[in-house]
Structures are given as C-alpha cells and as structure tokens.
C-alpha cells in the first residue's frame, strides 16, 4: 500500500474513531507523520500505534493525538502552549490550527530534532524552549489553550494558573504505571471546571531538564 493510500485509510479510521472536527482532520492530513518517527518505523507512520522516538519517549497514537486536539477546541487566533514536544508531531498539528504555538521539551536533543523538522516544514508560528514542562512558560502566559502530552500525578496547578479566563487545557492525570485519565480543564471567571474524557496511557511528566 502506498503512503498516500495509508494516509487516506488513516483519516477514515480517525473519523470512525470519533474525530469529527473537519479542521482537526485537515490539519492531521497536512502533517507528514513519517517525518516525526524513526526511519525504521516509516511503514507504521499511519498505523494507530505509539512509536518510540528515543530517550524512552514515544510519539502518541495518532488517534489519541486527534482526539486530544479535538478536545482542545483550538481557534485560529489562539495562543497555545504545549508541554512535551517529543518528536514534534503534536506541535506540528497544533501549529496548523492556532495563531502561535509555544512548546517545551525537557530533552534538548529531542527538541533540536523537532526544531529541524519544524524548519523543514516551514512552520513559522512555533517557538521552542528546553525546560521543565511542569513550570509552564510564565513569561508568555496567559495562554488560550494548553496541551499536556505527559501524565501529571495530580492536576498540574501551575499550568492551570497560566490559562486565560475562557481558556482550555487538556492533560492526562494519573500515576505512571497506574490508571490515567484524560482531563479537560476550563478556566472561568468563577474558577476551573474539569471534565473526564476517558482512560489514557502516557509517559510521566518529569520535573527538570535532562542533561544534553
């Protein structure tokens, strides 16, 4: 099966899996996932599986990426923060939907590789930083949307605090190796409203910056 045929089938599978937002589907269709996985896994780029990217990290299942992106409800004028750049795939999808994307990664080598991919794809609205994702990016706060791609053991209050009023954050919450729940946080003038979106499995959100 050709790469183009795999992608067409992949988009159809996303629709069948509950991804109905046409903007999200179009963004995913425009991002070549094979660029964000190791060459040895290019034949699996459009399979609905998580794939290793080094440093004991993975690029999430595309079905999970799509559902999380849909749940984030990104608008084209939104300022978005992503925690956990990884290979850059989720960031590339988000960049097609928002005005400006800020993304943080604790592994400098993964971030350098992701930045090269962003440059190759001419994604000019992405700003990267090596740092502790749990701290967020206070100097650029508040954000309209925050996407967290690693599981916090408890609701990440420092990130919630960086949401603008009316903002939305989607984050996996739960212990590494235990039950994790995908949670949507909405910041209102009266506080924060949470909504469970179902079980997930993510690598843990680890404090600090890893050595280069």
Residue 10 falls inside a structural domain: no
- Asked if pLDDT for residue 3 goes beyond 80, the answer is no
Strand, helix or coil for residue 45? coil
What are residue 100's DSSP bridge partners?
Answer: 79
* Overall average pLDDT of the 96-125 stretch: 97
CA distances 45 to 6, 66, 123, 126, Å, are 9, 14, 20, 23
Q: What percentage of residues in the chain have a pLDDT greater than 70? A: 98
Question: Quick check: 152 and 173 in contact, CB under 8 A?
Answer: yes
Task: Give the model's confidence band at 128: pLDDT under 50 very low, under 70 low, under 90 confident, else very high.
Answer: very high
Strand, helix or coil for residue 104? strand
Task: Give the model's confidence band at 194: pLDDT under 50 very low, under 70 low, under 90 confident, else very high.
Answer: very high
* Overall average pLDDT of the 207-212 stretch: 73
Tens of pLDDT, residue by residue over 116-127, are 999 999 999 999
- Position 7 scores a pLDDT of 84
Terminal CA-to-CA distance of the chain, rounded, Å?
39
Dihedral sign for Cα 185, 83, 203, 160, please. Answer: negative
Of 187, 192, 158, 155, which Cα lies nearest the Cα of 171? 155
The Cα 126–Cα 115 span in angstroms is: 9
The Cα 88–Cα 110 span in angstroms is: 9
Residue 125 falls inside a structural domain: yes
Residue 20 falls inside a structural domain: no
Give Cβ neighbours of residue 139 (< 8 Å, ≥ 6 apart). none
Residue 86 falls inside a structural domain: yes
Residue 41 falls inside a structural domain: no
Question: Quick check: 180 and 198 in contact, CB under 8 A?
Answer: no
- Asked if pLDDT for residue 212 goes beyond 70, the answer is no
Residue identified by tokens 């992701």 is 114
Of 72, 179, 184, 155, which Cα lies nearest the Cα of 81? 72
Question: Quick check: 169 and 146 in contact, CB under 8 A?
Answer: yes
CATH of the domain at 95: 3.40.50.150
Q: Residues 60, 87, 95, 196: which is the catalytic one? A: 60
Written as six digits, the tokens of 201 are 């499995």
Query: How many domains, the chain?
Result: 1
Residue 34 falls inside a structural domain: no
Range of the domain at 124: 50-61+71-200
Residue 95 annotated to the active site: no
Question: Quick check: 173 and 155 in contact, CB under 8 A?
Answer: yes
Strand, helix or coil for residue 183? strand
Tens of pLDDT, residue by residue over 56-98, are 888 888 999 999 999 999 999 999 999 999 999 999 999 999 9
Strand, helix or coil for residue 78? coil
- Position 159 scores a pLDDT of 97
**What pTM, to 2 d.p., does this model score?**
0.94
- Asked if pLDDT for residue 136 goes beyond 70, the answer is yes
- Asked if pLDDT for residue 205 goes beyond 90, the answer is no
The Cα 95–Cα 74 span in angstroms is: 10
* Overall average pLDDT of the 139-150 stretch: 96
Written as six digits, the tokens of 82 are 């992503």
Residue 66 falls inside a structural domain: no
């Amino acid at each position: 099966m050709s790469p183009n045929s795999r992608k067409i089938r992949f988009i159809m599978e996303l629709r069948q899996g509950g991804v109905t937002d046409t903007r999200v589907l179009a963004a995913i269709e425009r991002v070549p996932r094979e660029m964000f996985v190791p060459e040895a896994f290019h034949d699996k780029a459009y399979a609905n599986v998580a794939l290793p990217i080094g440093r004991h990290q993975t690029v999430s299942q595309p079905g999970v990426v799509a559902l999380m992106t849909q749940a984030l409800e990104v608008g084209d004028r939104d300022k978005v923060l992503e925690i956990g750049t990884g290979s850059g795939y989720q960031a590339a999808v988000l960049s097609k939907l928002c005005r400006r994307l800020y993304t943080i990664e604790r592994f400098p080598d993964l971030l350098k590789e992701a930045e090269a991919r962003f440059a190759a794809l001419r994604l000019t609205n992405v700003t990267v930083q090596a740092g502790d994702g749990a701290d967020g990016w206070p100097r650029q706060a508040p954000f309209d949307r925050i996407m967290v791609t690693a599981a916090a053991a408890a609701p990440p209050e420092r990130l919630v605090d960086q949401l603008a009023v009316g903002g939305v954050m989607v984050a996996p919450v739960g212990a590494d190796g235990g039950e994790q729940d995908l949670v949507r946080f909405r910041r209102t003038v009266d506080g924060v409203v949470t909504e469970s979106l179902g079980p997930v499995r993510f690598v843990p959100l680890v404090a600090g910056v890893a050595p280069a």
